[in-house]
Structure 1
Amino acid sequence: MATLQQKLTILTILCFTLSLSSTSSSTMTVHDLLKKKGLPAGLLPKEVKSYEFNDQTGLLEVYIDGPCLTKFENRVLFESVVKANLTYGELMGVEGLSQEELFIWLPVKEITVFDPKSGIILFDIGMAQKQLSLSLFEDPPSCRPQEGLINYSGRKDKGFGAER
């Protein structure tokens, strides 16, 4: 039977181990998390304010001060909240990220790196899959805030009543 001293020692070691693991995860940036999961850090802008990641479910929620634009190969719009399920090499069910293709904003649904050695990253934009060079995503881009953004259909947000 363990003595009180042995129980206290085990409890102290357990508490110390738990505090180390929570400290290391709280200081990890979202860009570090992406790299750890086999994705490039530059998928998200420098202007990320905070993020939450549930390691059990894979749900990643990224918070930015407001919608902002940047450019990879084409212009990209980040909403103030970007959500996705993060697994190794893949962001699935992406919400809050759109890419401009031929003057139309299309939502990015999935981002995948099948083989980092290939130098290719795959963007699923619904009706098409686009292959881009991984080198475009090495560093987090600067993202500039936009006011009065045009909605995804390309029309200004006036509503039906304004057209009568």
Structure 2
Amino acid sequence: MAKHTLILTLIFTFICSTILPISQQELVTESSIHDLLKSKGLPVGLFPKEVESFTLYDTGLLEVFLRGPCLTKFDTMAFYESTIRANLTYGSLTGVEGLSQEELFLWLPVKDIIVDDPKSGLILFDIGLAHKQLSLSLFEDPPDCKSEGMLNLKKRSRKEMGFDAQM
């Protein structure tokens, strides 16, 4: 009898140790990234249509996976890497990795995206050197993101564009 109890205990422990960590790590209740953004008070157009999948962990870490790196335009050009990571809370994406915006011929990483007051109609982008307030209307629909041809624009360095000759 004790032998059966020991075996059942081992089986139960094994099942709990393999199933529970998965359920505690991943918390995906929305059908699309755009539905998730909307439920968290953010505009649906922050991520492009080309999102293949995403994972939201119980820590708040959001990982978004695209088909590949791509460019789109909001007020300026925006570059998405293949994987974008951020901490998701209601009204904000903080500690963003994998998203850059072009500002005056420079590509600057987007660090935070915050909607403080949806009634204001504004969204705040922290790009390190500055905070940009943009109209929420720019993000009403998920944008198309181009992966071919335009990526060369992002990869070109300042030197290749002739800036070193001016120094």
State whether TM-score is above 0.5.
yes
Runs of 4+ in 1 over 6 A off after TM superposition: none
CA RMSD of aligned residues (A): 1.8
In structure 1, the residue matched to 2:49 is 46
CA deviations 1:13-35 (Å, max 9, x no partner) are xxxxxxxxx9x82x610000000
- 2:87 maps to a residue whose letter is N
Distance change in 2, residues 1:49/1:129 (3 Å): same
Distance change in 2, residues 1:152/1:94 (3 Å): farther
Structural mapping, 1:56-67, within 5 Å: 56-67=58-69
Question: Which ranges of structure 2 fall in alignment gaps of 5 or more residues?
Answer: 1-25, 161-167
Q: Distance in 2 between matches of 1:124 and 1:134?
A: 15
For the pair 1:105 / 2:114, whether they are aligned, the reply is no
TM-score by length of 2: 0.74
Report % sequence identity: 63
| 3-state secondary structure, aligned to 2:31 | coil
| 3-state secondary structure, aligned to 1:145 | coil
Q: Distance in 2 between matches of 1:145 and 1:74?
A: 17
Distance change in 2, residues 1:139/1:81 (3 Å): same
Question: Which ranges of structure 1 fall in alignment gaps of 5 or more residues?
Answer: 1-21, 157-164
Aligned-pair CA distance for 1:153? 5.2
CA deviations 1:79-120 (Å, max 9, x no partner) are 000000000000000000000001110000000000000000
| 3-state secondary structure, aligned to 1:45 | coil
In structure 1, the residue matched to 2:39 is 36
Q: Distance in 2 between matches of 1:108 and 1:153?
A: 19
